[in-house]
Structures are given as structure tokens and as C-alpha cells.
Amino acid sequence: MADAPMAYLVWQPIGLFLEEVLGGKDAPLLFIVPFIQRRAIARMLDACRDTDQLKVVTRWRAGDILSGVSDLGVYDELRERRIPLYVNDRIHLKLLVLNSNECFAGSANLTDAGLGYAQHQNIELGCRSLLESRDWGHVFRIVEESALVDDTVFEQAKRFVAENETQPEETLATKPFTHPQKEFSLNALPATADPLRLEQFFCSTSQSHDDPETERRALHDLVVFDIAEDTPSDSFRAVLGERFRAKPFVRAFVGYLESKCRLRFGEANAWIHSHCSDVPLPYRWQIKENTHILYDWLAFFYDEIKWRVPGRRSQVIFWEPA
């Protein structure tokens, strides 16, 4: 990756600094913060010029939502702005990721006291820096463990608070909600347009790209397919193919394709939707685009798999053993 800019510390009031950053051209991708208050995040979002790609990850443990440090009203705020909310009960870090791959990490939660909006504000500290490839590895693992909040989960959370607000915290489970579990997540799908482009990125001396999203997609795939930094260039393609074919998601989809012999594009999309849970991927994800990408990867690494567009009809993928 390109050399990171010099990191520097930011002291209170952190909220004013973040408003200035978010009001610039560098749009936010991820807010990963355990404690969020509706009024505080609304002020942050009002400062943003662009929230089209933003996804928010927070923490909803029993004690968090019962005490109010995790504000359930945040879901309503984000839904009104069409920003998806995810929960991850293990997070304690506070991280804001920007479209340029820069980030802001620190001690402050998105609360009035943490951001310096309250009369009695906390003493907080943060640092602006650039995410390296090893940092993206940690981010992608957080992504994998996060679950989307929808209306059903939100109503479960509200009922839980109503039924347990008078109960001692020690009697409550740390994970009061159950999220629908699917076999895989969207994080399991390749993100780079094709394996050769990923190989080109890996073998590049700088491992950087003019487009930060292209860089994130490549780093995603290197992490997901567990490609070590010291993998010899002449072995990269073979190692990637082995890791790709070994992925449970890939094996399951290939098995389904083999049983059907051919799949229309809509059938493949439906299978992916029914088997994969949503996660807060830090790049633009669209089911059609990523299914096209998956087709190209499958055709590259499996001699038996081919795809074509018969006539004017939609793309069809085939299992054609020799």
C-alpha cells in the first residue's frame, strides 16, 4: 500500500474535528462503535456530505441496552436515512473508516459526552491514520462476525427492554437476541473482478491502486482466501485456486450447480440470498455484480464450469464434465 500519512493525535472536543472531516470529500464507509446515542450520531450524519456507502456497527448486549448506553433509537435514525445498522457483541474499539482508506481510531463513543457535545464531557483522545493491509484483515474479521439489524431484531430488542428493565443486570444473558443464522456470509464471495487482477495486485511492488475501493476489494480477497504475504509470486495462482476451491461456500455452490447441471442467473442469485447473511462490507456490493464475479472465478478455477449468454437471455452457468 501507499505510505501512510503521518499520524497525529486529536484531543477533545473530538466531535468538532470529526464534523470537519466528514464534511469533506472523503465519504465515510464504516462507523464501528460500541455505544451510540441517537442525538450524537444524528449530528455526525448531518455533517456528512455523502452517506451512500456508510454502514454502522454497534454493540447491543443486555446491560448496554437496558442502561441506555446503547440507544435503540439509533436504529430509527439510521433507517430514516437508509443507513444499515449491524451489531457485534464483541466490539470495544472505536473506529471510523473513510473512503480513502484513512481512519480515525480513539477512545470516544458516539455519545454527547464522548464527542464533547455535553456540558460535562469526557476526556477523550483519537488518532487519524491510514489502514494498512494487516489492519484491513482485522476489519474484515469484524465484518464477518456482525449481524444486520432489521425490524424483527429491533422489535425483539424493544420487547426485551420492556420485559427486563427492572431485573438485576447479573441475571440477564449477555446475548438476549437471536439472529437468523445462515450457512455463509457475503464476506465469503470474491470481490476482485477476476483472479488475474488479484494476482497482478499481489505481485505489484507497491500493492496500491489509484482507486481505494479496488484496493479494498483486493485486500478483502487476500484475507478471505488466506494468502500469506510471503507466498512466492510463481505459486500465487495455484495457492489461490486451492484456497478458493476449499471454501465451504464455494464447495456448496459447486455441489448445487453439479446437481442441477445448469443455473439461470436468477436461480444463482436466489441461492446466494437464501444461504448468505448480510455483512457490512466496506465496498459497494450488489448481488448481480458479485454473482458475475463469482462466475468468472468459478470458470477460471474449474475446468468443468463455463458460463454463456444464450441468445438474448440472461447469463447461464453450466457444469460440463469432460
Q: Do 167 and 219 belong together in one domain?
A: no
Cis peptide before 13 (omega within 30 of 0): yes
Q: Do 203 and 169 belong together in one domain?
A: no
Q: Would you state the pLDDT for residue 83?
A: 97
Q: Do 85 and 205 belong together in one domain?
A: no
Q: Do 141 and 216 belong together in one domain?
A: no
Q: Do 315 and 201 belong together in one domain?
A: yes
Q: Do 249 and 144 belong together in one domain?
A: no
Q: Would you state the pLDDT for residue 164?
A: 83
pLDDT per 10-residue tile (average), the chain, 322 residues:
63 92 94 97 96 95 87 97 95 96 95 91 92 91 92 90 75 54 87 95 74 92 93 96 96 96 93 91 87 95 92 83 81
User: 146: number of CA atoms within 13 Å, CB side?
Assistant: 31
- Enumerate the β-bridge partners of residue 95: 32, 105
Q: Do 173 and 203 belong together in one domain?
A: no
Q: What is the pLDDT of residues 186-215, one digit of tens each?
A: 999 999 999 999 999 999 866 566 688 999
Q: SS3 for 285?
A: coil
Measured CA to CA, the distance from residue 58 to residue 64 in angstroms comes to: 10
- How many domains does the chain divide into? 2
Report yes or no on 160 lying in a domain: yes
What is the value of pTM for the model shown? 0.88
Report yes or no on 1 lying in a domain: no
Report yes or no on 161 lying in a domain: yes
CATH of residue 167's domain is 3.30.870.10
Q: Would you state the pLDDT for residue 194?
A: 94
Q: Which letter does DSSP use for residue 306 in this model? A: E
Between helices 287-301 and 236-246, what is the axis angle to 10°?
Answer: 120
DSSP letter string, 126-183: EEEEE--HHHHHHHHHHHHH-EE--HHHHHHHHHHHHHHTTS-GGGS-S----PPP-S
Q: Do 165 and 194 belong together in one domain?
A: no
Report yes or no on 272 lying in a domain: yes
Q: Would you state the pLDDT for residue 4?
A: 47
Report yes or no on 229 lying in a domain: yes
6, 66, 73, 304 from 92: Cα distances, Å? 25, 18, 20, 46
Task: Look up the domain containing 253 and give its range.
Answer: 186-319
With b meaning 16 or more CB within 10 Å and e meaning fewer, what string describes 55-90? bbbbbbbbebbbeebbbbebbebbeeeebebbbbbe
23 C-beta neighbours (distance < 10 Å), count = 12
Contact 34, 59 (CB under 8 A): yes
